[in-house]
A and B are shown apart, each in its own frame.
Chain A
Amino acid sequence: KGARRKKDEL
């Protein structure tokens, strides 16, 4: 899921 990806949002 999306969360696994690096968190690029503030």
Chain B
Amino acid sequence: MNIFRLTGDLAHLLAIIILLLKIWKTRSCAGISGKSQILFAIVYTTRYLDLVTTYVSAYNTLMKIFFLGSSFATVYLIYVKFKATYDHNHDTFRIEFLILPAVILALLINHAFTPLEILWTFSIYLESVAILPQLFMVSKTGEAESITSHYLFALGSYRGLYILNWIYRYAMESHYDLIAIVAGIVQTVLYCDFFYLYITKVLKGKKLQLPA
């Protein structure tokens, strides 16, 4: 474990808590893409299958349980509890166009052709594009509540910090995983446009308005 990966995991944890609090406190999931949250639930389910077979550390196990539980809780809040506030009209990204390519790519490019490894690889590829429905929704509505933009900033930062972790691990342990690194770079790049808007607008107290 290193400081980059620890702060990355904490940023990830913070993002999930911000989102859960926003939905629970406002009793509304307006502006939140349910489709992205479904993709995240798929990502954690396919990535953490080794939860019961492999013990890495208490930290590792606890975080996996939290990510799994919170992602399903978020999907439940959006599609069941606060269904009336779910914005169907703006959450229209076709997630099958993200899932299928991730499946195909995972079958073609992986470290080992075993079920667990293929599913892990699929989850890595899917996570890199899982935020697209949310970013698409923000662009369609043309704006985002500031709490949603804080969520996106924390979520985008987590994989950015992981990139620093991978550089650190390559330098210190000469350990690297190209699949995770390439997907992590793609994932972080997708947030760049949003990061620019967040830093130039939201941090100045303005509302996040995308150019129409």
Contacts and interface: CB of A to CB of B under 8 A. Distances in A.
Q: Do A and B come from one complex?
A: yes
Interface of A: 1-10
Interface in B1-23: 5, 9, 12
B17 to A, nearest CB: 15
Interface string B107-126: 00001100001001000000
Interface residues of B, number: 23
Contacts of A8: 56-57, 60
A10 B63 contact: yes
B175 interface: yes
A10 B12 contact: yes
Contact of A10 (B64, B117, B178, B179): B64
8 contacts: A1-B176, A1-B178, A3-B177, A7-B56, A7-B120, A8-B60, A10-B9, A10-B60
B5, B177, B179, most chain A CB atoms within 10 A: B177
A1 to B, nearest CB: 7
Contacts, number: 33
B26 interface: no
Which 9 pairs across A and B sit closest by C-beta, in order of nearness?
Answer: A3-B111, A2-B177, A2-B175, A8-B56, A2-B176, A3-B177, A10-B63, A10-B9, A6-B56
Contact of B112 (A2, A3, A6, A9): A3
B191 interface: no
B12 A1 contact: no
Contacts of A5: 175
A1 B88 CA distance: 44
B103 interface: no
Given A8-B60, A10-B12, 6 more contacts: A1-B178, A2-B175, A4-B111, A7-B50, A8-B56, A10-B60
